[in-house]
Structure 1
Amino acid sequence: MDGVSDEVADGFVRVRLDLSYDGKDFSGWAKQARGQRTVQGEIEDALRTVTRSTETYELTVAGRTDAGVHARGQVAHVDLPGALWEEHREKLLRRLAGRLSHDVRIWSAEEAPAGFNARFSAIWRRYAYRVTDHPGGVDPLLRGHVLWHDWTLDMDAMNAAAEHLVGEHDFAAYCKKREGATTIRTLQELRWERRSDGILEATVKADAFCHNMVRSLVGALLFVGDGHRPVEWPGKVLAAGVRDSAVHVVRPHGLTLEEVGYPADELLATRSREARNKRSLPGSAGCC
């Protein structure tokens, strides 16, 4: 079955999964070559085992996280035969908890509303990136989720720089280009807060993200925060529209996918269709 489709085949049920994982020991979300441990591969194997299936039912995910990136509020869907779903639905969560490794948990498995697609129906994804500039380094109990930046950071300067990045832009300067894929995104929110424990937390929210976008944006803003670049620099890089070798892609362990947002049930199918259209900026080339 094509899990990317909005249409669910006769006799099948689309199931929404809400899940979390620690990305440290995963080679990202997506299945890869044999020997690479991935979140998708682990969950699909567990589903096949606990439902005693001979077939692997493929997952479609809201956000394909990279190696080492964590998720607290990831969403996926899987299309299962109706009879299999009815047989296992009541005990599925408990059985998966017993089969999955401790660094990945599924919190909810429910029949999805009509038109739901975990990837294309989403209207926003919200990430958090956590950094400490404490001269002593990172709390050992948080070291797997917080980056140490060995310079004092000016949060106000970083927020001032972030203002020039919010909105709909071509983020080619902050993305790893993929053939045939657009780099136009709507960055809905980008702001920093210093928590009571001293950790700086960036909230990064957009309709979607291209490859390496969040970690590149964070890297540029850290250069502003530590005084290596002026406040205007990240905006100038964005306007230039090409990768700048000075933009550092920060390490993945400070990044967590916190939440995925969806519209009201009656708008799911419409949103899914809209999200498949390749975007272009006003006045730029592109048919759709």
Structure 2
Amino acid sequence: MTDLRMSHDEQQARELDLTQRVLRSFDTCADPRLRELMRAVVSHLHGLIRDVRLTEEEWAAGIRFLTEVGRVSDDRRQEFILLSDVLGASMQTIGVNNRAVGDATEATVFGPFFLEGSPHVGQGGSIASGAQGEPCLVEGRVTNTAGEPVPNARIEVWEADDDGLYDLQYNDGRVAARGHLFTDHDGNYRLWAITPTPYPIPHDGPVGAMLAATGRSPMRAAHLHFMVTADECRTLVTHIFVQGDALLEADTVFGVKESLVREFERQPASTPIPDGSTVDVPWTKVRFDIVLGPSEVRGS
């Protein structure tokens, strides 16, 4: 009786031959970078399938998962960004594209809750706009890597409220806990925000189900988002984190960097603020000096 089973070497050759045929299909791609990317995607994807001996049922389950990620994504919720974040892909991409330059402030994840057209709050203004939370005075100075002040830098700030939700997660159209201002001629800025608290990323969808299935927490360390843009400087997307937060070592999107951890100093009610006025409730203050790298620096 003839043995119809394929030997290990024959099976391996058959699998590698398919990979090579798919790779050759991109030989006529006119865009060299697109050709490079597609060939790399195919090589790694085929390698994964071969290495773990992926079953057809597992592949179908993966397709269903990605289909569901797309289904729940819309202009207010970006589940694919969440997926990228919890897999560490966002932070890896940031690391590749934000090579360290001098003492430039480190970048971290953008997140899925940025919104264009935030209110202009001006120096000393508040981004809260009714969002619940403990008041927090944030101030600092923006300079370049030569130590020179960066005037008129645009600083976007956004965060979750005390219930752990961003304004985009509400259905009433509110715009709160976000805003922007510009540095003065010496690069200084000051604004009022909300003292950050830990919160879970949206986990009622497929990404949350994946975290639960793998025994991972959806919690993010407490943080405040910044995006800083200025002429001749590299755009900076970053956070500041709260010193002492128990989640600094367990942030579900791997976004914490030691250089971005800051002390949020507690102030009793009626403590004078820099303009001489007082706040009638307890509040915190934090200083975040920002150093922008030169715009021509790219990932190596």
TM-score tier by shorter-chain length is under 0.3
Q: Name the one with the larger strand percent.
A: 1
Higher-Rg member (1/2): 2
